[in-house]
Amino acid sequence: MKTDYRNVFKECGFTDEQIDNRLKGIKEEFFFGKDRVYFTTADNMGYVVDTGNIDVRTEGMSYAMMLCVQLNMQEDFDRIWRWAKTYMYMTEGENEGYFAWSCKTDGEKNANGPAPDGEEFFAMALYFASHRWGDKEGIFAYSKEADAILTAMVHKGYDGRKGAPMVNHDNYQILFVPGIDFTDPSYHLPHFYDLFSEWGPLEDRDFWKKASLVSRKYLCDSCDKTTGFSAEYAEFDGSPMKRPLPWTNDRHDWFYSDAYRTVANIALDYEWNGIDVGQCAAAKNIQRFLLIDQRRETFFAYEVTGKATSEPALHPVGLLATVAAGTLATELDDVSKEWVMKFFNTPMRKGERRYYDNCLYFFAFLALSGNYRMW
């Protein structure tokens, strides 16, 4: 297991005290301050609110669990997991064994469909919790719960099970939703799949090892070779998914909100595993391509090939954070240092859209400070 994690902030000249104090402040603001997104309930539960949509999502819940295990916050980890299992977990129907991707803050489900990025992060956070704190009983037998999630992701729709899997059995790719015929580049987490192949259910370890190899290559294929941008949704060959969708009129073939996570995933995978099959070039490309807009503080939505649209970025702080995190996939030079310094000196986002930006911000700070670790 890796024990030596790169601290890019120290490489840029920040002291341990500066970094530690900043991390404490981020933790306070995210979980407990007046601009928090995390709330506890009287029945010993906790949830994270998407402040832009006023709902609770598996994305944010699983992210918060990962943050808690990284920060050794077991009590809050358990609160969040209890809420997710109580209100989001589905025990019947086609999606039995998955988690409803969106709920109201009182626990009522807004939808009965899952989002695979939530399941991925739930499983990884639970394995880390098992290793850091040890398994307990019931839903707090963390590794057993993680095994069940991965089994559902791979085996639903097979072996007589209802529903559809979250992974394509022919090409080993994670799907945008179960059974669909396209993917989301930001859902591809080869660094998680490598660990699933070591710790997950025995019968599926070979599957996850193949998935890690496929996803690493996919991250290379889905990022434009000049800009480093990936699309929000993409075909299995990495090209932007331009087909109309029955449930929305929004476009998803551009570099926009979901897609910001791709470069951060590339960076964390490289930090954990040190394997580059071409995907790391995206980190350098995106930093150089967006440098002028970063200096102007005028991020937009972009075509994958680089043309700026007239629509401003919905999550500019999140974009800044993930591009800065990309430094973990490359050497520190004048350009990457400028991104890291800009990020360190930029406060967390305020206002109604703070949830997504500050999730990405928190993860980027952990990664760049050497505190996003395998447990």
CATH number at residue 362: 1.50.10.10
Of 171, 43, 151, 165, the closest CA to residue 107 belongs to 43
Series of mean pLDDT values for 10-residue runs along the chain (375 residues): 94 98 98 98 97 98 99 98 98 97 98 97 99 98 98 95 97 98 98 98 98 98 98 98 90 97 98 98 98 98 98 98 98 98 98 98 99 98
| Sequence letter at residue 3 | T
Of 222, 337, 239, the closest CA to residue 281 belongs to 222
Structure tokens at 237: 């060959």
Which residue(s) pair with 300 in the sheet? 312
SS3 41: coil
Contacts of 247 (CB under 8 A, 6+ apart): none
pLDDT computed for residue 200 by the predictor: 98
372 belongs to a structural domain: yes
Q: Could you tell me if residue 197 is left (phi over 0), alpha (psi between -120 and 50 degrees) or otherwise beta?
A: alpha
SS3 308: strand
84 belongs to a structural domain: no
159 belongs to a structural domain: no
Which residue(s) pair with 56 in the sheet? 103
> Based on the structure, what is the number of domains in the chain?
1
Q: What is the DSSP letter of 311?
A: E
Of 79, 193, 72, the closest CA to residue 132 belongs to 72
Catalytic residues: 59, 258
Structural domain including 29 reads: 1-36+223-375
20 belongs to a structural domain: yes
**What pTM did the predictor assign?**
0.98
Rounded to the nearest angstrom, the gap between the alpha carbon of residue 337 and the centroid of all alpha carbons in its chain is: 23
344 belongs to a structural domain: yes
178 belongs to a structural domain: no
289 belongs to a structural domain: yes
88 belongs to a structural domain: no
pLDDT computed for residue 160 by the predictor: 87
pLDDT computed for residue 246 by the predictor: 86
Q: Is the dihedral of CA 205, 211, 217, 220 positive or negative?
A: negative
